[in-house]
């Protein structure tokens, strides 16, 4: 049986990740009585919609959810299935799907590890939940209310400042890192626990925030809100310079539906948001440009000179308490961000050594700020389509001399951190393939004025198209090195408030005209 699609709503939201969910939440809170239709190209994995897959205790069920997130070429093997093997031997993580082709052109670095998730919740159903605040050069200088927006983002994501306060050895890890790095740093830029979108239930079990937390009960109970999965938005309708709705393909039966709307929000990730705009004929000069990945360097150590501590058994199904996460913030002098994670096991076998105590193996991940340039971009064409039938993307991406200098500085810093903590596991830090961070930004970037270097205004509305908004990490205009989700949700809050205010003004104007 075919499904029912609405024909006319107040707001359409394309994509169900953290930023799309933020629009739905703010509108449900501030524009009650208005109709909101959300469309997601991928399937719903769990109930409630957008649940983080880490919260699925059963391993087989979790793997099935990851496989269903991997688009048209799933690679995670489950009972009775075989995984797609990429012929280029690129490494792909569970729950994500690699870019299909034209991800690395001759003479360019490209994004060979570029990947995406296609499911209700998007990559927000799979992310690490790290929510550090940007600082110094990462900040968006023309947004005077950014700190307040970040506060609101923390509310929506359910951020805890130190959820692993009882993690063994975490205090010692931070003490050693602080002694190495804190001198001369401003308050807020010193070593600290990593803020995480995670909370502890009454039974003691840790629960990771997916978009289900962002939606909240206020959205789920909103009679004007609908979420339709396996529904691919192929284009936005633009009439007389303003958004008028969307065209949606029902992925279950191939039928096409037109949904009229007063406002349209495209929150389809940094690759597919510009793709939808291009397919809709909305093609500002900056569309797809200023593509910004975060080059990533990793290393690991075993803590030295610590007493092995007895550890209580965690509640059944709980995420291990050994997983303390510490943070070395970005500064302009050190243009990278450190995520230091205590693990319950070594990432590689430790030859001729005793089994390490959980929490004494520490993984270090340094994310570098990219030298942002307009020529790093996603290009689309009218002549070729991708596997979804949308305009085919081609990646142009080059690491500059400045990027390589930042790498050298970051490598030296991660080695300093490793020496301060313990004994090296492996010979040297590893630079991961471009795209491995999954933190793609800039392709529909925000700007203070419409000067051709940005796609949207400070309220996230696309320049020159009334009522069309964009959301996601792709809106961030700065060379941000910290995990970007907290910032992108903050920007979505700004856009959602603008839409809510405009909807309210329309109601007031209509009421006034009847008096």
Q: Scan for tokens 């690699």, then name that residue.
A: 98
Beta-carbon contacts of 200 under 8 Å, excluding residues fewer than 6 positions away, are: 163, 206, 207
**Nearest Cα to 209, choosing from 167, 161, 151, 160?**
160
User: At 174, which helix (H) or strand (E)?
Assistant: helix 170-181
Domain extent, residue 190, equals: 12-79+90-127+159-282+293-439+495-514
Beta-carbon contacts of 447 under 8 Å, excluding residues fewer than 6 positions away, are: 286, 453, 454, 455, 456, 457, 458, 463, 477
Q: Scan for tokens 């597919």, then name that residue.
A: 272
Is residue 132 one of the residues assigned to a domain? no
Please state, in angstroms and rounded to a whole number, the distance separating the CA atoms of residues 74 and 95. 8
DSSP assignment string, 9-51: EEEEEE--SHHHHHHHHHHHHHSTT--EEEE-SS---SSSTT-
Beta-carbon contacts of 313 under 8 Å, excluding residues fewer than 6 positions away, are: none
439 is catalytic: yes
State residue 204's pLDDT score.
76
Is residue 32 one of the residues assigned to a domain? yes
Is residue 273 one of the residues assigned to a domain? yes
Mark residue 243 as left, alpha or beta (left: phi above 0; alpha: psi -120 to 50; beta: remaining). Answer: beta
State residue 226's pLDDT score.
97
Q: Scan for tokens 């039974």, then name that residue.
A: 203
State residue 317's pLDDT score.
42
Token output for 130 = 């790290």
Domain count, the chain: 1
CA atoms within 13 A on the CB side of 398: 11
Is residue 388 one of the residues assigned to a domain? yes
**Nearest Cα to 39, choosing from 62, 61, 23?**
23
Please state, in angstroms and rounded to a whole number, the distance separating the CA atoms of residues 55 and 142. 38
DSSP-derived letter for residue 426 is S
State residue 323's pLDDT score.
64
Beta bridge partners of 328: 338
Burial group, residue 201, by CB count within 10 angstroms (0-12, 13-18, 19+): exposed
Is residue 460 one of the residues assigned to a domain? no
Token output for 374 = 């307009």
Q: Scan for tokens 């790095």, then name that residue.
A: 181
Report the SS3 class of residue 383.
strand
State residue 203's pLDDT score.
80
Burial 348-381 (b: 16+ CB within 10 A, else e): eeeeeeeebbbbbbbbbbbbbbbbbbeebbbbbe
Is residue 139 one of the residues assigned to a domain? no
Token output for 196 = 């995480």
Show pLDDT as tens, one digit a residue, over the chain (515 residues).
Answer: 458 999 999 999 999 999 999 999 999 999 999 999 999 999 999 999 999 999 998 999 999 999 999 999 999 999 888 888 878 788 899 999 999 999 999 999 999 999 999 999 999 999 999 999 999 999 999 999 999 999 999 999 999 988 888 788 999 999 999 999 999 999 999 999 999 999 877 887 789 999 999 999 999 999 999 999 999 999 999 999 999 999 999 999 999 999 999 999 999 999 999 999 999 999 999 999 999 999 999 999 999 988 766 555 544 444 555 568 999 999 999 999 999 998 765 555 554 566 677 788 999 999 999 999 999 999 999 999 999 999 999 999 999 999 999 999 999 999 999 999 999 999 999 999 999 999 999 999 999 999 999 999 999 999 999 999 999 999 999 999 999 999 999 999 999 999 999 999 876 676 665 54
pTM of the model: 0.95
DSSP assignment string, 229-282: SSEEEEEEEEETTEEEEEEEEETTT--EEEEEEEEEEE-S-TTHHHHHHHHTT-
Q: Which residue is catalytic, options 75, 337, 396, 439?
A: 439
Beta-carbon contacts of 132 under 8 Å, excluding residues fewer than 6 positions away, are: 194, 195, 327, 329, 337, 482, 483, 486
State residue 431's pLDDT score.
93
Is residue 205 one of the residues assigned to a domain? yes
Is residue 147 one of the residues assigned to a domain? no
Burial 42-64 (b: 16+ CB within 10 A, else e): bebbbebbbbbbbbbeeeeebbb
Token output for 425 = 């596991």
């Amino acid at each position: 049986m075919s499904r029912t699609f609405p024909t006319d709503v107040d707001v359409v939201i394309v994509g169900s990740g953290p930023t799309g969910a933020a629009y739905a939440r703010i509108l449900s809170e501030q524009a009650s009585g208005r109709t909101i239709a959300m469309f997601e190209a991928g399937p719903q994995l769990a109930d409630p919609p957008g649940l983080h897959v880490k919260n699925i205790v059963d391993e087989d069920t979790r793997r099935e959810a990851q496989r269903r997130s991997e688009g048209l070429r799933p690679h995670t093997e489950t009972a009775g299935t075989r995984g797609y093997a990429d012929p280029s031997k690129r490494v792909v993580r569970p729950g994500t799907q690699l870019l299909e082709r034209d991800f690395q052109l001759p003479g360019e670095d490209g994004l060979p590890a570029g990947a995406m998730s296609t499911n209700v919740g998007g990559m927000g159903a799979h992310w690490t939940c790290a929510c550090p605040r940007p600082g110094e050069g990462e900040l968006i200088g023309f947004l005077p209310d950014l700190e307040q927006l970040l506060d609101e983002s923390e509310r929506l994501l359910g951020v805890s400042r130190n959820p692993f306060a009882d993690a063994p050895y975490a205090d010692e890890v931070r003490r050693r890192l602080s002694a190495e790095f804190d001198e001369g740093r401003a308050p807020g830029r010193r070593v600290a626990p990593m803020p995480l979108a995670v909370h502890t239930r009454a039974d003691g079990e840790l629960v990771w925030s997916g978009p289900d937390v962002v939606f909240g009960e206020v959205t789920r109970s909103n009679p004007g809100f609908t979420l339709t999965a396996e529904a691919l938005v192929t284009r936005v309708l633009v009439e007389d310079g303003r958004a008028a709705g969307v065209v949606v393909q029902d992925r279950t039966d191939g039928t096409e539906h037109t949904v009229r709307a007063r406002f349209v929000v495209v929150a389809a990730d940094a690759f597919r948001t510009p793709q939808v705009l291009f397919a809709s004929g909305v093609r500002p000069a900056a569309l797809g440009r200023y593509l910004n990945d975060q080059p990533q360097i990793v290393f690991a150590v075993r803590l030295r000179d610590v007493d092995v501590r007895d550890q209580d058994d965690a509640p059944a199904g709980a995420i291990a308490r050994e997983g303390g996460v510490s943070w070395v913030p970005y500064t302009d002098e050190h243009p990278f961000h450190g995520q230091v994670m205590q693990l319950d096991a070594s990432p590689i076998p430790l030859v001729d050594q005793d089994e390490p105590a959980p929490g004494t193996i520490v993984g270090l991940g340094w994310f570098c700020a990219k030298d942002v340039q307009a020529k790093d971009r996603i290009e689309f064409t009218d002549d070729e389509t991708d596997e979804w039938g949308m305009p085919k993307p081609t990646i142009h991406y080059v690491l500059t001399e400045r990027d390589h200098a930042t790498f050298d500085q970051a490598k030296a810093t991660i080695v300093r951190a490793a020496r301060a903590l313990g004994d090296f596991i492996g010979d040297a830090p590893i630079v991961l393939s471009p795209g491995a961070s999954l933190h793609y930004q800039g392709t529909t970037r925000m700007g203070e004025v419409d000067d051709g270097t940005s796609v949207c205004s400070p309220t996230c509305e696309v320049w020159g198209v009334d009522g069309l908004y964009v959301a996601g990490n792709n809106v961030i205009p700065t060379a941000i090195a910290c995990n970007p989700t907290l910032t992108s949700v903050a920007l979505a809050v700004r856009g959602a408030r603008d839409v809510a205010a405009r909807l309210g003004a329309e109601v007031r104007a209509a009421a006034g005209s009847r008096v």
